[in-house]
Amino acid sequence: MKVVVLTGAGISAESGLATFRDADGLWENHRPEDVATPEAFAEDRALVQRFYDERRAVLARVAPNAAHRALAELENLIGDDLFLVTQNIDDLHEQAGSRRVHHMHGELRAAWCVSCDSRMPWTGTLADEPPCPRCGVAALRPDVVWFGEMPYGMDDIHRALFTCDLFVSIGTSGVVYPAAAFVDYAIAGGSDTLELNLERAANSDFRVSRQGLASELVPAWVA
Ligand code: BJW
């Protein structure tokens, strides 16, 4: 049975990473739509770099939870029949042992040089605008996907969605596209659908929807 799992910020909430749209989701009074855009980066690079520097610092202090571990176990059980796609830019799936993770919104621990188009690991701070180690131009930005930009790996994701038997959405509010439409693509391809989330998401076309903590619902579903 081919399974596509989509995860969002809610799966990392119990590890201590703030979600975007829950009560504590604002950052210095900025909505995600204010800092996660190319326009915000063009207007105030320091503000946006600080937003990601702080999140990188928090990521260094947290660990995966039972939901991440259950998905790593699922990969051990069904191997390539699992297609795990995350909107999250943290690496908690990898830290839990998942080996194939599709980061459709990029990765917090990666930088992208918009001058020479190279990508590189990044664990330090970007706020001091270091030059690119490859081309020497100061044009590094977080390797993440902002509003108005094309998410990564969409061809592979669409293929997986249209050919899966089960689509499972975990810890996402279902308001950000294209991920919010994945449930519709899966239904169009004939797949069954399941939602595991604290509350019913905005895109509630799921055949089954269970409400609760990811750390409880996901291990129970995998077992
Ligand atoms: C728990 C829990 C616990 C809490 N247990 N659950 C109409 C159609 C198509 C596109 C658009 C459209 N209208 C507008 C657009 C464009 C735009 C968009 O969607 N805007 C919306 C605001 C309407 N989309 C884009 O621009 C995207 N690009 C694009 O569309 O390109 C064109 C294209 C067309 C066709 C195909 C392909 C491409 C790009 C979107 C990029 C989003 N980027 C961000 C930032 C990434 C970097 C970073 O992390 O800083 O991605 S914004 C932010 O939102 C981040 C997240 O990945 C994303 C989703 O958030 P998520 O994960 O759902 O978090 P929350 O906080 O919203 O929800 C958490 C949920 O967890 C809640 O439900 C809680 O209840 C739950 N929860 N604790 C279980 N313990």
Domains of the chain: 1-17+64-105+151-223 (3.40.50.1220), 22-61+109-144 (3.30.1600.10)
Partner residues linked to 209 by β-bridges: 195
Strand, helix or coil for residue 69 = helix
Distance separating the N- and C-terminal Cα atoms of the chain: 16
Strand, helix or coil for residue 107 = strand
Q: Which of 68, 102, 105, 158 is catalytic?
A: 105
At residue 22, does pLDDT exceed 90? no
Q: How far is the CA of 177 from the centre of ligand 1 (A)?
A: 6
Q: Are strands 166-170 and 3-7 parallel, antiparallel or unpaired?
A: parallel
Strand, helix or coil for residue 57 = helix
The residue with tokens 């799966």 is 11
Residues 6+ apart with CB under 8 A from 177: none
Q: How far is the CA of 175 from the centre of ligand 1 (A)?
A: 6
CA atoms within 13 A of residue 210's CA, in its CB half-sphere: 15
Instruction: Give the pLDDT band of residue 129 (cuts 50, 70, 90).
Output: confident
**Interval 60-99: pLDDT, tens:** 999 999 999 999 999 999 999 999 999 999 999 999 999 9
- Which residues in 118-202 belong to E strands, given as ranges? 119-121, 140-144, 166-170, 192-197
- pTM of the predicted protein model: 0.96
Ligand 1 site, residue 64, Cβ cutoff 6 A? no
Strand, helix or coil for residue 193 = strand
Ligand 1 site, residue 195, Cβ cutoff 6 A? no
